[in-house]
């Protein structure tokens, strides 16, 4: 099993290209199930989750072809992938595939809308809370679906098609908003979604569906209106830059010091997190090429955060920010409101010398002057990134185990960091 070795203490200086967003690419890929034409996606990152979803889509009959890095364009490791679901050969998404990645459960919406049925295994994924699929199923029931849970599968039927409805989510859910957008796009009549997720990835999906012929308005706001259409066509759509990768590398620079251009990053996708980072003492400037992050030797100021749905501070950057706060000049409080078990990185950061105490959903971080390298273990995708940030500033050697978590969401992380001066390498086996 691969590991990552870091020798801490080096500043970061240079350019880091920001990849396409995993959390945007996955629902766009799933949208390919909704048409028998070809959906072409640009700027798709090369990640374990993307490859897993390609296998899941292939199980349903989706053909794909991949173009590599485009000529004359230095934009990271982006690919263009063409997806064609001309014939859906199977409406079952089996446990052995879905259990490896939660987002794959979202195929239930397009399959139900296009084929009138879906038989999808209940999902697996990161162990950061229960994250039940109830919201996803309830919104489909609101559109007229009949759903039974049997032997670990959600069996959904809508033999006469889905019917538009007005529905209010009891809590904000990005995944459920994705599913309802896709299902309602092919439903009969009008659907109005209240308390919808406002994340940029939702907007990217709505823009994709509209490019395919859907009639969706209001994405990015808490109320979204969908006028159902009878069919969708192919389209060519670009995956937005990854705001979580952007924030992670920005925090790495704030931790180590240095001067890095995050090429292709867009500030409007994570303005709350960048504003918070500015409060820690980092200088952050938007440029025509991306976002420049600078910290020239000044200490890290402690800042309190509370995770919130977009446009608030994202839960997917909470662990990384905690890693940064371990060396702040004072005490900070980090409150997690989205997932109930998203503090599993605390004990691993403590192995590096961090001082963190937990009380319910709030972590109190007392900044220390020095972190010291040690063997640590990644517990989930974002937690593993927090260990990288801490390791970059720790004295001596840090070995991060279970880096397959990182491979799910960060494209060529060690290569991007090493090009900017980090002493980091992957150890195979």
Q: Pick the residue with more confidence: 344 or 168?
A: 168
Q: Pick the residue with more confidence: 112 or 134?
A: 112
- What is the CA 55 to chain-centroid distance, rounded? 19
- Band (102; pLDDT cuts 50, 70, 90): confident
Classified as helix, coil or strand, 26 is helix
- CA–CA distance, 237 with 24 (Å, rounded to integer): 11
The pLDDT assigned to 76 comes to 47
Report pLDDT digits (tens) over 415-429: 999 999 999 999 997
Residue 69 has pLDDT above 70, yes or no: no
- Residue 171 counted as an annotated binding residue: yes
Residue 73 has pLDDT above 80, yes or no: no
- Residue 207 counted as an annotated binding residue: no
Residue 127 has pLDDT above 90, yes or no: no
The pLDDT assigned to 132 comes to 66
Q: What is the DSSP string of 261-309?
A: EEET--GGGSHHHHHHHHHTT-EEEEETTEEEEEE-SPPPPP--EEB-S
Residue 15 has pLDDT above 60, yes or no: yes
Q: Are 340 and 326 in contact (CB under 8 A)?
A: no
- Residue 301 counted as an annotated binding residue: no
Looking at residues 146-175, what average pLDDT do you find? 95
Q: 33: buried, middle or exposed (CB in 10 Å: 19+, 13-18, 0-12)?
A: buried
Distances, alpha carbon 111 to alpha carbons 163, 185, 219, 387, in Å: 15, 12, 22, 39
**Per 3-state DSSP, what percentage of the chain is helix, strand, and coil (rounded to 5)?**
35, 30, 40
126 is catalytic: yes
Q: Are 151 and 110 in contact (CB under 8 A)?
A: no
Q: Are 318 and 382 in contact (CB under 8 A)?
A: yes
- Residue 253 counted as an annotated binding residue: no
20 phi, psi to nearest 5 deg = -65, 150
Q: Which of 126, 139, 208, 420 is catalytic?
A: 126
The alpha carbon dihedral of 138, 143, 148, 151 has a sign of: negative
- CA–CA distance, 128 with 336 (Å, rounded to integer): 11
- Residue 102 counted as an annotated binding residue: yes
Residue 231 has pLDDT above 50, yes or no: yes
- CA–CA distance, 205 with 30 (Å, rounded to integer): 10
Q: Are 116 and 143 in contact (CB under 8 A)?
A: no
- C-beta pairs of 352-357 under 8 Å, 24+ apart in sequence: 352/326, 352/376, 352/387, 352/390, 352/391, 352/394, 352/398, 353/326, 353/394, 354/326, 354/390, 355/326, 356/322, 356/326
- Residue 22 counted as an annotated binding residue: yes
Residue 161 has pLDDT above 50, yes or no: yes
- Residue 188 counted as an annotated binding residue: no
Residue 68 has pLDDT above 70, yes or no: no
The pLDDT assigned to 74 comes to 43
Q: Are 398 and 8 in contact (CB under 8 A)?
A: yes
The pLDDT assigned to 130 comes to 46
Residue 64 has pLDDT above 90, yes or no: yes
Report pLDDT digits (tens) over 254-305: 999 999 999 999 999 999 999 999 999 999 999 999 999 999 878 999 999 9
Looking at residues 149-161, what average pLDDT do you find? 93
Classified as helix, coil or strand, 87 is coil
| pLDDT over 90 percentage in the chain | 86
Report pLDDT digits (tens) over 241-254: 999 999 999 999 99
Looking at residues 119-148, what average pLDDT do you find? 80
Report pLDDT digits (tens) over 324-374: 999 999 999 999 998 777 798 999 999 999 999 999 999 999 999 999 999
In the chain, what are the domains? 3-18+241-427 (3.65.10.10), 22-238 (3.65.10.10)
Q: Which residues contact 73 (CB under 8 A, 6 or more apart)?
A: none
Q: 68: buried, middle or exposed (CB in 10 Å: 19+, 13-18, 0-12)?
A: exposed
Report pLDDT digits (tens) over 391-402: 999 999 999 999
- Residue 79 counted as an annotated binding residue: no
Q: Pick the residue with more confidence: 201 or 133?
A: 201
The pLDDT assigned to 5 comes to 98
The pLDDT assigned to 125 comes to 44
Q: Are 9 and 421 in contact (CB under 8 A)?
A: no
Distances, alpha carbon 308 to alpha carbons 42, 86, 151, 272, 400, in Å: 29, 39, 34, 10, 28
- CA–CA distance, 382 with 42 (Å, rounded to integer): 24
| pLDDT over 70 percentage in the chain | 95
- Residue 131 counted as an annotated binding residue: yes
The pLDDT assigned to 22 comes to 96
- Residue 70 counted as an annotated binding residue: no
- Residue 332 counted as an annotated binding residue: no
* Helix, strand counts (H, E) of the chain: 14, 24
Average model confidence (pLDDT) across the chain = 94
Least confident of 21-25, 227-231, 384-388, 403-407: 403-407
- Residue 316 counted as an annotated binding residue: yes
Least confident of 18-22, 73-77, 96-100, 357-361: 73-77
Q: What is the CA radius of gyration of the chain?
A: 21
Residue 45 has pLDDT above 90, yes or no: yes
The pLDDT assigned to 124 comes to 54
Q: Name the helix (H) or strand (E) containing 374.
A: none
């Amino acid at each position: 099993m691969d590991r990552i070795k870091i020798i801490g203490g080096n500043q970061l200086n240079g350019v880091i290209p920001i990849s396409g967003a995993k959390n945007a690419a996955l629902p766009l890929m799933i949208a390919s199930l909704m048409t028998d034409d070809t959906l072409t996606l640009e700027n798709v990152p090369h990640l374990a989750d993307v490859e897993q979803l390609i296998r899941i889509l292939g199980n349903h009959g989706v053909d794909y072809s991949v173009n590599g890095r485009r000529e004359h364009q230095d934009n990271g490791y982006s690919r263009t992938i063409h997806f064609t679901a001309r014939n859906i050969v199977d409406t079952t998404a089996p446990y052995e595939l879905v259990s490896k990645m939660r987002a794959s459960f979202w195929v239930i919406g397009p399959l139900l809308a296009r084929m009138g049925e879906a038989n999808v295994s209940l999902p697996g994924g990161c162990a950061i809370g229960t994250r039940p699929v109830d919201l996803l199923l309830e919104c489909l029931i609101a559109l007229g679906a009949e759903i039974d849970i049997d032997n670990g599968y959600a069996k959904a039927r809508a033999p006469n098609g889905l019917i538009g409805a007005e529905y209010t989510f009891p809590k904000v859910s990005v995944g459920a908003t994705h599913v309802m957008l896709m299902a309602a796009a092919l439903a009969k009549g009008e659907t109005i979604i209240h308390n919808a997720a406002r994340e940029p990835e939702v907007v990217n999906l709505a823009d994709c569906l509209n490019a395919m012929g859907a009639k969706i308005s209001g994405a990015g706001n808490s109320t979204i209106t969908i006028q159902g259409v009878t069919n969708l066509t192919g389209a060519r759509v670009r995956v937005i830059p990854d705001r979580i990768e952007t924030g992670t590398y920005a925090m790495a620079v704030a931790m180590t010091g240095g001067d890095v251009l995050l090429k292709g990053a867009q500030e409007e996708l994570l303005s709350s997190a960048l504003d918070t980072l500015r409060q820690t003492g980092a200088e952050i400037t938007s440029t025509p090429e991306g976002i420049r992050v600078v910290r020239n030797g000044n200490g890290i100021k402690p800042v309190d955060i509370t995770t919130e749905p977009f446009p608030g501070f994202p839960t997917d950057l909470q662990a990384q920010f905690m890693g940064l706060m371990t060396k702040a000049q004072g005490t900070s409080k980090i409150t997690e409101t989205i997932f109930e078990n998203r503090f599993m990185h605390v004990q691993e950061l403590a192995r590096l010398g961090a001082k963190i105490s937990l009380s319910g959903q709030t972590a109190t971080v007392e900044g220390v002057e020095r972190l010291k390298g040690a063997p640590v273990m990644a517990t989930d995708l974002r937690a593993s990134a927090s260990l990288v940030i801490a390791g970059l500033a720790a004295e001596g050697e840090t070995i991060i185990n279970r880096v397959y978590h990182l491979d799910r969401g960060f494209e060529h992380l060690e290569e991007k960091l090493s090009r900017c001066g980090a002493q980091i390498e992957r150890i195979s086996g």
